[in-house]
Amino acid sequence: MAILNVTPDSFSDGGRLAGPQHAIELGLEMVADGADWVDVGGESTRPGAASVSADEEIDRIASVVAGLAQEGVKISIDTQKPEVASEALRLGASWVNDVSGLRDPEMFELVASQGCRVCIMHMQGTPQTMQRVPSYLDVDREVWSELEQRAERLTERGVQHESIFLDPGFGFGKTLEHNLTLLRRLGDHTAGKYPVLVGLSRKSFLGAIPGFPGQPLPPLDRYEVTLAAQTAAHLAGAACLRVHDVTGAVRCRAIIEAMLSAQ
């Protein structure tokens, strides 16, 4: 899943696009490079990001979603707002990626009634507050039981298990230690009822491992550490990786899959 942020302020790629046409071209390039899905986002969720109105977010994403859909691209919409998700689905998106994990009852209702693909991500707090004092008694148990409870509620409404992706939400209300524990134990959760999606790409914890030279790494210098973490997640059984750098991810996937299918 390739990340296409049409925002002025995303943490690693905000403000780089000249307009909707440029975004569409970039989305098509990501597909040509091997992405199966393009995840379009109109609001940054980086720690402390200012939230935008639904109208503003729709303004940012609408022509990009419509343009990519016209070209046959499979689109996911990265939003916490039911109004935005609903408009994106109308324009041709078929996957709702909600970093707040369907907290808003209207968002839950929309996904349940449409039966579309959904990604339920775990976040402690909100993007405005989440990195103040993240705290858990047992991060792995708490994150996954919360995700599974929300997923169960959707299956009770008739949504198929295979349409519900669960994501532990790396960097969303988590310390370095929490993120590393979740990555270390990811494999305990990938053989269950629901496919697992992970977003590790350029996350700040990957550039902040104590004791390594050059730390902390700025976002655009996190290419190699991203590939290393994504490889770990792939080997642990993640079904989908949300990535900024499609070519690197596709090349890693090729070698891992070749290795896994060897005698």
Q: Pull the structure tokens for residue 72.
A: 């046959």
Residue from 26, 116, 197, 241 that binds ligand HH2 (CB under 6 A)? 197
- Examine residue 195 and tell whether it contacts ligand HH2 (CB under 6 A): no
Query: C-alpha distances in angstroms, 51 versus 82, 98, 234?
Result: 15, 14, 32
Which of these is catalytic: 60, 117, 202, 203?
A: 203
Number of residues that bind ligand HH2 (CB under 6 A): 21
User: Which residues lie below 8 Å from residue 29, measured CB to CB, with a gap of 6+?
Assistant: none
Residues in 125-164 at the binding interface with ligand HH2, rule: CB under 6 A: none
Is residue 242 part of the annotated active site? The answer reads: yes
- Examine residue 219 and tell whether it contacts ligand HH2 (CB under 6 A): no
Is residue 174 part of the annotated active site? The answer reads: no
Q: How far is CA 260 from the centre of its chain?
A: 25
Residues in 54-93 at the binding interface with ligand HH2, rule: CB under 6 A: 78
Residues in 12-41 at the binding interface with ligand HH2, rule: CB under 6 A: 12, 41
12 vs 175, beta carbon nearer ligand HH2:
12
- Only one of the segments 6-14, 80-88, 154-162, 229-237 lies at the binding site for ligand HH2 (rule: CB under 6 A); that segment is 6-14
User: What is the nearest approach in angstroms of ligand HH2 to the Cβ of residue 123?
Assistant: 9
Cβ atoms within 10 Å of 48's Cβ, excluding its own:
12
User: Which residues lie below 8 Å from residue 165, measured CB to CB, with a gap of 6+?
Assistant: 117, 118, 119, 120, 194, 195, 196, 197, 239, 240
Answer for the pair 37, 95: CB distance below 8 angstroms, yes or no.
yes
Query: C-alpha distances in angstroms, 165 versus 4, 121, 248?
Result: 19, 8, 23
Interacting residues with ligand HH2 (CB under 6 A) = 3, 5, 7, 10-12, 41, 44-46, 78, 97, 99, 119, 121, 167, 169-170, 197, 199, 242
